[in-house]
Amino acid sequence: MDFIQSKVEKLYKKYGTKNPFTLARKLNIQIFYWDLPANIKGFYQYEKRNRFIFISSNLSIQEQLIVCAHELGHAILHTKLNTPFMRSNTLVSVDKIEVQANTFAAYLLIPDENLFESYDKMTIYDIAALYNVPLKLVELKFKGLF
């Protein structure tokens, strides 16, 4: 089990849910819905020991769920990092932390129950359709299995 999967499992055991909105509330992370530009679905911000998730109000409910899970990944895995600041003020690559946030979202949104029995005859496309998540999340969760 990698460290991201372990983080998700610990959250699930402690709070009894994998719903990113519920987890954010229980972790005292405030969620705001803003009319963001079309190319920005959401972002995470840390300021003075306060954590905020901003989600575009122009997204469908399912897209908001996925964005919330991704941004919650930042809040858990990269608590004090603000990626917009990193992009404009540092030489640190944000690609790695974006992949980590997507991997967190994948473990949060795609159940593990009966992993091999449930997904035995399914393709990654079937799993993405079943859970209404992007193909990229399925690829991250099941890397090496398909």
Task: For the domain made up of 3-109, give the CATH fold.
Answer: Arc Repressor Mutant, subunit A (1.10.10)
- Whether the pLDDT of residue 60 is over 90: the answer is yes
Global pTM reads 0.82
DSSP collapsed to 3 states, the chain: CCHHHHHHHHHHHHHCCCCHHHHHHHCCEEEEEECCCCCCCEEEEEECCEEEEEEECCCCHHHHHHHHHHHHHHHHHCCCCCHHHHHHHCCCCCHHHHHHHHHHHHHHHCCCCCHHHHCCCCCHHHHHHHHCCCHHHHHHHCCCCC
Per-residue pLDDT tens over the stretch 66-104: 999 999 999 999 888 776 654 544 444 568 888 899 999
